Chains A and B, each alone.
Chain A
Amino acid sequence: MTNSICEFEDADLFLVTGSNTTAQHPLIGSRIINAVERGAKLILIDPREIPLAAFAELHLRQNIGTDIAVLNGLMNVIIEENLYDRQFVADRTEGFEALKAAVSRYTPAVVEMITGISAADLTRAARMYARADKAMLAYAMGITQHITGTDNVKACANIAMLTGHVGRPSTGVNPLRGQNNVQGACDMGGLPGVFSGYQPVSDEAARKKFERAWGVEGLPAQAGLTLGGMLEAGRKGALKALYVMGENPRISDPNLGSVDLALSSLDLLIVQDIFMSETAALADVVLPAACFAEKGGTYTNTERRVQLTQRAVTAPGQARADWEIIADLCRRCGLEAPYTHPGQIMEEIRSVTPSYGGITHERLSKTYGLQWPCPNREHPGTAFLHSAQFTRGKGSFQPSDFTPQGEATDQDFPFTLTTGRIYCQFHTGTMSRRVDLLEREAPEPLVEIHPEDAAKLGIRKNDLVEVSSRRGSIRLKADVTTRVPRKVLFTTFHFHEAQVNLLTNPACDRTSGIPELKECAAAIRRCP
């Protein structure tokens, strides 16, 4: 997020797309609701009628997978009607002419044909967003989990730069991170091509710095594999060993049939987790890990806030903190791992990561955390990013064209299946499905289908149905609801009883490798 969570309170306008905010980020969703109640405006771009729709001035329900056309269409109106921020574009950005040329084809009429959003609504949304004083754009997996995920994200950045809606309080671009520490994992280099703090492995100076810090030589200059790439290499026999920590790809990854093939082709599978997950059940070695309450350390949340936690209870049995397991493993591999406390690891992070340079356990213990960049011990942390300039200097407009979704519907698979999450369960359920109250609230998988489609197929609420794609089929109960548009099915990946990722398409974004979990062609029928 370029902004902070509390800044949602003071914005004038929100553009929310691909985020069921009240369900997945309820404390951000509630701030949006409070702001709307005091007069702020909400533009929602989402195919489903999520709870925030009740608070939206405009709800644009685009055809799934047409986000770039929507965003290009908005930018086209903003440029055509001279509503863009000339000063910001001139001073802070480059590549405007190329953007203008690229989006000029996306007239409201063309966008209406592609996206299903009326030209009038699109135009109104563009004017509202451009004219707002403090506008916050927020998005989540609905933008990223597409084969055009990277381009979708760039389009979000483009429209914010075009209107100067970035770099001020309550004004910016806010990808809402889905887990308490997914920001921290990325910050620490849990990505194929970077060291901590997004220092690229291709940068020789960065490599030298880490070689010195770690007392090693020859750190690779090439980016490693993405998760999808690892599984593919496993299937081909090119990858021999996989060490999985706190991840459950046997439920969470697309086209599960091929995930099992990849995992069983490995010579060695190590899984480190707090519970015996589906993936751990296949492992050669299971390393029991301590849960959040059984270890100390830090988490970095969606607003870049690094927060310290203390151990509250002792870990059961052989379970140990992740850092203890990894340090012990290092020692057994003959490496030095001179850590006896997570505070020492934070000191190492500080020494090699400029944006974490001023973050120490001692400072964290006296505050509610520090937001990076926090380059030195005197620095108070940063509430919002890009106030004077962007990380690279000038912001670069990177336009892209709409391309149709990876898997088209046809006569046999006439529905678009989209997947997501619900309020009372978390991811593959390894944790939330062990909580009695959550399990009572959301005990079983449901597939949402529009009443008109359901009537045609003789499906009633709570009927058992079979949903299938070109890769597999699952059985679950139907929820007949106008929450989904016609010809769209929605379900979640929380339930092992009906693993929707047996159906999903493994096609990936070519830059980031994120799979297209938000759309695949599917069929549905009532089980006899």
Chain B
Amino acid sequence: MKLLAKKDVPELLQAWSQRYEVLSPGTTEQADCIFGAFSRDSFTLSYRKPPMPPKAALLPPSQVIFTIENGRYADAASAGRTLLFGIRACDAMGILQAKSFFQRDGSDSYVSRRSDESVIIVNACSGPQNETCFCTTMHSGPYADRGFDLQLYDMGETFLVEEGSARGAELTGSQFFFAIGDAEAAGRIRTFRQKAQKAIPSVPEVARAMNILKAGPSCDSVWERLGKKCIMCGGCAYVCPTCTCFTVADRVHTAMNGQRIRSWDACLFSGFTREASGHNPRPTQASRLKRRHEHKLLYYNKIDTQAMVCGCVGCGRCSDYCPVHIGTLEVVKSIAEQVGQ
């Protein structure tokens, strides 16, 4: 096991920037915390759950995948060696789920060329980041048990560093890391984990809602009520670590010149399922909300969820950011209360 002094972290990230595109927490001029390109000026270690999950490192919000110039095809999707420093365990699980989805039925080369060489360094949570965290319920946190190269445990002035892969072990070879006895480190990590686990309350309505959905009583009254107020912004999908739906569009500049773009999509948009005839199998916002939440809570794929509880990692962002409060927490509570009784 290794130790890393917090005061050395900026220097370390500066050094890693030679080999990687380092993404790390930083502070904006307005004192908000965002996750972005490392810069010594804005870097911070006192940060909470950033607004966006790190999925853009694998699947950019919008990406040119190929171009046609004078009738000739050219692959344009970028490769990347990203180092994600300090992401949370729920987000690491989100990346695992997303990667697994993109490797099923043939590998998505645009994702794999950005993710295969990337490094994930998790900063284990010592407690909830805010009141919507429910990773303990979903078994995705507060610390990661897989899906990381290094995991940091906050010990005050230092981080205890757990190695999760050969690539991670190689990264701790530099002068910034100090060795520490394995037995002592394991004890301290155990204590950290136990305290953190206890600090994040569980949400029993998740299991209850999943069981209700599985048992099959109609939850239409819930979907109708929520569907009426959904403003169709798609924000819940954009902030979700496991939402990976994309759309593909061609931008034709001239007859022999253009680009193919793929960009984030959301299943709450009506055009997502509209067929060429105009028929839409999910014709109302209520039916689209039902599909979205059933996809997370009922129709998740066991392979893609990495043996987790379901398709949701419990980061709570949809509850943080939905302007009309239709996050997973509100949905499971509505189902448990309205239908469960």
Contacts and interface: CB of A to CB of B under 8 A. Distances in A.
B228 A441 contact: no
A368 B31 CA distance: 11
Nearest to A443: B271
Interface in B13-71: 29-30
Contact of A462 (B232, B278, B324): B278
Given A27-B323, A366-B29, A436-B249, A33 B229 contact: yes
Interface residues of A, number: 23
Contacts of A440: 247, 249, 269, 271
B341 to A, nearest CB: 20
Interface in A389-418: none
A26 B29 contact: no
A309 to B, nearest CB: 12
Given A437-B263, A441-B270, A26 B30 contact: no
Given A22-B231, A436-B247, A30 B324 contact: yes
A295 B128 CA distance: 39
Contacts of B263: 436-437
B325 interface: yes
Contacts of A423: 232
**Max count, chain A CB within 10 A of own CB: residue among B231, B278, B325:** B231
A37 B228 CA distance: 12
B261 interface: yes
B278 A437 contact: no
A365 B229 contact: no
A27 B232 CA distance: 11
Contacts, number: 49
A437 B323 contact: no
A245 B29 CA distance: 32
Given A34-B325, A365-B29, A441-B269, A29 B231 contact: yes
Interface string A443-467: 1000000000000000000100000
A5 to B, nearest CB: 11
A29 to B, nearest CB: 6
A424 to B, nearest CB: 9
Nearest to A477: B278
A37 B261 CA distance: 40
B324 A441 contact: no
Q: Which of A29, A34, A37, A441 has the most CB of B within 10 A?
A: A441
Interface string A249-261: 0000000000000
B265 interface: yes
A26 B229 contact: no
A92 B232 CA distance: 42
Contact of A34 (B30, B228, B271, B324): B324
Contact of A33 (B247, B249, B270, B324): B324
Contacts of A37: 229
A30 B265 CA distance: 22
Contacts of A366: 29-30
A366 B32 CA distance: 11
9 contacts: A29-B231, A30-B323, A31-B323, A33-B231, A34-B323, A366-B30, A436-B247, A441-B270, A443-B271
Interface of B: 29-30, 228-229, 231-233, 247, 249, 251, 261, 263, 265, 269-271, 278, 323-325
